[in-house]
Structures are given as structure tokens and as C-alpha cells.
Structure 1
């Protein structure tokens, strides 16, 4: 994918993110790697009002091309692409259930085997840092170590995948897990699967993870 095709897919994914209830309005952001940089959704413009031409290009040095300002989280996207070469697309959302857990500073433990879809035996919650800062970027990268999804304390969720279709599917799965976990917590603290079982699941999921 290059140029126009990528911009169209980034916008389509951002709209799908809202359509699936992962996000609302102009919050959250989506990007896709493209050659020597990436395309990202613009700042403060509802996705329903966007056109592909509103997507913003950034190179690895932070140079911007486009008629809009990039999302305020452009730094986090840049640093995740640099830290994790396998990332082809990134999605950040203020999804309701993930954000609820993030506001409680609670990770998602191995209460369900599908937690392994994010690459480990838990989905970590990064420590809080102000949006758009280098500190938040650093916290996100650490929380994503050996993982492809994480919560961001008092903020939302972040995930990456090989492409836009896979990162959207992962975000939907993580939000579903967050919802089920919160429902379980309303009854009792759910037991977690043993480490050896999660190790087996992770081996089985190697070919399925985004």
C-alpha cells in the first residue's frame, strides 16, 4: 500500500473504530506504516467529516506533510513504530470498558485464554502520563514489551498489528475482554489460568496473533 490507498484505509479504519463503539467523536487515532513514514488521522476533526486528504504524513524525523495537524498522539505512534518493526498499523481508542479499567489502573489478567491474543499472559496497564508527551510514549512502549496491546492509565487503550484489518480486530477483542472482565468483577474476582496453561495457549496462538 502506498499513498492514496493507505490514506483511504486509515480513514476507513478510524470510522470503523467509532462504528464498533471503540471510540467517539474525534478522540482516539489510527495510523498505518507506509515506506519511510506513516499516515495518521488528524487532530480534532471528527472522522465523519474527514476525507482521505485530511490524513497526515509523518516521516521518522517528525517532518509533517498535510493540510491538517496530526493527532496529538503522533509521538506515541512514531516511537511504537521505531520500537516495534513488526507494527504495520496502530490504533489508540478511548473505548468504554478498556478505559474503565485504565481509570482503575487495572491490567487484564489471564482470566480468559483469549488474553493471549495480545501476546502474553496479561494485558498490562501503563502508568499515567499526560497525553501527547514523551513520558506517555515511553510508558506505552514499556507496557507493550512482548505484547501487542496495553491499557493507558486514566486514558484508554493502545494496540498494534501487522496491518489495519488486524489491528482493528485486536482492538475489538481487547475491548470485549475488558467488558467480560468487568462483568466478572461485579460478581467476584475471577480466578486466572495457570502460567503453564497460558504458555501452552501462547504457543498455539503464534500463528493467530495480529
Structure 2
């Protein structure tokens, strides 16, 4: 969506952070959200409980990595991969990072999510890949995340969590929730046996059938 001013955009980031908690896809302050606004990135600050967060706490960062916070806040420790994703993927305007239980469980196992259901197409391909492990906040982690997201809208981060992207904040949040549902389903399948997977051709048909469905801001 278009924001009338930067305050409205900042408020949208605060609302989305609180929504992550309500949806059960994040706990405490471990997740973070960024939003492209004109030629800057707005990102949630480090270490602030979401319920106490205000629009003025959101940090502004240039695409060169310089940041400003009017209330002395510092950007999320994961700002690097947020910035690199927005710089390298012009169609992406929002990035959601969280540690949802089932995505993180699979990430700890270093397991990508295969085509267990046609909704795997929310990630843009026939799987949700798992990027290799690297220490949080590092350039190495950012490089791994970018590689995993090259042809995908979402990925897992080994022993860490997940990333979802979108052309809008609403779309990124929707994708994050759908990926966690897929992770839950896959985890449940693994308790019984190996799931039957859909073919690459079927996922291609789903993606073509969707057309612009996968890019809508409300789903």
C-alpha cells in the first residue's frame, strides 16, 4: 500500500510487529521487520518489547547503511540482511524475520520444506529452502539469505528462523504465516512417515493458475 507520510509507514511497522505476536509466529523481541519507504529503509529497533514500541522508535536507514533514530534507538541486529534484500530485490518492499516454532524446528534440522501442499507456491517455487547457518547479524548470514531468496519469496535460516518477503508489508506478513503453516504440516507428516510430494509440473501449474493471486496485498 501507499503511505501518506513517514509516520504512517512507521506505524505500519509497529502494527506488523505486534501482529507477529498475535499470530503466534514470534516470541519476545527476537523477530524484526523492515519496510522500504521512498529511498530509505524503516526497521524495527533492537531490544524493544513490541507492546511498548511506538512509531518514533522505528529506525531510519539509508541504502548505504547509515542510520538515524530520533529517540536514540539502534536498528535491529539483523539490519544487514534486511538492507541487502531490499537493495538486491527491487520488487521487494518489506521483509519479515521471525522465529516461529515449526519453521525454527525444521531450520534446526537444516530441512527445507518440500512440495507437501500446493501452498508451497507462496514461496515462488516448489520448496522453501534452508540457508546455511552463520552467526546472526553477520555479512555471511546476509549472503546465505540472499542466495536462498534469489528465486524465492521466503526461506528458512539454519538453526535460526525464517525470512519472508513481499511487495507490501501485508504480503510479507501473509507469506510468513503461510510458511509457518506449511512447516507445521511438514513437521506433523514427519512424525508419521515421509509425505507424498507434489511434482514440479504441478507446482508450475499452480503458479500459472494463480497468476497475480500470489502478489495480491489481501489474501
Scaled to the shorter chain, the TM-score interval is over 0.9
TM-score scaled by length of structure 2: 0.94
Residue in 2 aligned with 1:105? 110
RMSD over aligned Cα atoms: 0.8
| Alignment size in residue pairs | 210
Equivalent of residue 96 in structure 1, options 98, 101, 104? 101
Matches of residues 104-183 of structure 1 in structure 2 within 5 Å? 104-183=109-188
C-alpha distance in 2 between matches for 1:137 and 1:62: 14
Residue in 2 aligned with 1:80? 85
Equivalent of residue 24 in structure 1, options 24, 27, 31? 27
Q: Give 5+ residue unaligned stretches, structure 1.
A: none
* Cα deviation code 1:153-206 (max 9, x no counterpart): 000000110111111111110000100110011111101111211111121233
Q: Give 5+ residue unaligned stretches, structure 2.
A: none
C-alpha distance in 1 between matches for 2:106 and 2:209: 27
C-alpha distance in 1 between matches for 2:80 and 2:214: 25
TM-score scaled by length of structure 1: 0.98
* Cα deviation code 1:54-84 (max 9, x no counterpart): 0000010111110200000111000000111
SS class of match (1:192): coil
C-alpha distance in 1 between matches for 2:68 and 2:143: 25
Equivalent of residue 43 in structure 2, options 31, 40, 47? 40
Contact 1:94 1:155 (C-alpha < 8 Å) held by counterparts: yes
